[in-house]
A and B are shown apart, each in its own frame.
Chain A
Amino acid sequence: MAEVNTGGGGGKKGKKRSKKVSTKIDMTPMVDLAFLLITFFMLTTTFNKPKIMEVKMPVKKEDNTKTNYKESETMTLVLGEENKVFYFMGLNNPKVESADFSDQGIRKVLLQKNKSIAEFKVIIKAMDTSKYKNMVDILDEIHITGVKYYAIGKISPKDIELTKTVQGS
């Protein structure tokens, strides 16, 4: 073995040297610890990636052309304060109703309309008093119910007037 000769020169008639204790360390616990740390780092680093929801806003057109679509196939959703949703079909004196964000609320309505109307479209309009959470929730409902065509629109005073016709708001 490769040993460093620590003899003090000559050493033929010197004292009896005590037997050298080998300096071998058991590395097993060290490896254990190292791997424990590694696994810890591996598991804790990759799990906190944030999730996102893609929203595509309509592209601003230069010539202000408007796409036309049938009123009868279009539902307008108005997000109000206190987590309320108002909805109506079309624009000509529509019957405005209100719902909430529970499973039995707006989701039922969207599912039913989406089944009965082939080219069902939704326009989402949020009041200034509504919360950002409502917008995310309603986009979520649209994803859940599988509505194909939806857009986020600007609210008009007329929409706010319409929501005031609902009882208890």
Chain B
Amino acid sequence: MNSYLLKRVMVLIPVLIGMTIIVFSIIHAIPGDPAETILGQKATEQSKQALREQLGLDEPWLNQYFNYMGDLLQGDLGTSIRTKTPIVKEILPYLAATLELTAASMLFATIVGVNAGILSAWRQNSWFDYTAMVIALIGVSMPIFWLGLMEQLIFSLKLDWLPSIGRMDQRNPVESITNLYVIDTILAGNWSQLWTVTKHLILPSIALGTIPMAIIARMTRSSMLEVMNSDYIRTAKAKGLSQFLVVYKHALKNALIPVLTVIGLQTGALLGGAVLTETIFAWPGVGRYIFEAISSRDYPVIQTGILIIAFIFVFINLLVDLMYAAIDPRINYK
């Protein structure tokens, strides 16, 4: 197991280096003079030249890359052009906000998706099964943008149940310690604020979690169906075990393995969808951070932001692989 872990981690190194090369090339392949676009029509030629020097744009491509890697290895992620602040200093609150949203979305997607999948398999070809699978089909093809706006329109504007934007009530702000507001309010023992913060999480996490929820539901269903038809389940049934125990105790543990992979992959994919959700719900996360950087041509931020997301994606995949191996002893580590 340990050697497997080591091997998997070692493989990451070339992957990560490859990622830096790709991200760096993409950013530099974008046409147009970055200095002109960053500073806008109103900037003077002098400040444009100064910016080019600051960004090292006047140096050859290879030098630029090696300088970038050199800085990266020393923990210097660059300086945002727009805010003129080192990215290391400002990225943490954004990461925390995205983490909170992603976690809530995956919680929603997993709980609803897994259960809907189980019930659909359990009651195969029933009305529940058909309804759930039609919803799942719609869910997969739902544009996040549209879903988000509809949620706001219905649950916030018409019904007035939930807040439509942001992470908290601005008139009664949360004191941030970890920037994960759910945890912050628990640490502070402020239950009314915990409730407010949770309410703010509901609509965006449903918007973000709908697609993975649908995918997980479909995966769980098909995986459950396969398991339910296997011999050991027939045996369990024959022993006279209750339906519930058969399904949730005996069938689920085997059916869950491929589902877990899907959950892991979807968690990584959520980071991409977060850009849209964060925009609609004014959620100050990494997606918004990169979005703002793109619209203001803040190249260092775009570069670092993409790299961090890619890194998290790779890391989650590693985690899934390791868990996969841990759950199923039949998997060969070599």
Real binding pair: no
* Chain A residues proximal to chain B, CB less than 8 Å: none
* Chain B residues proximal to chain A, CB less than 8 Å: none
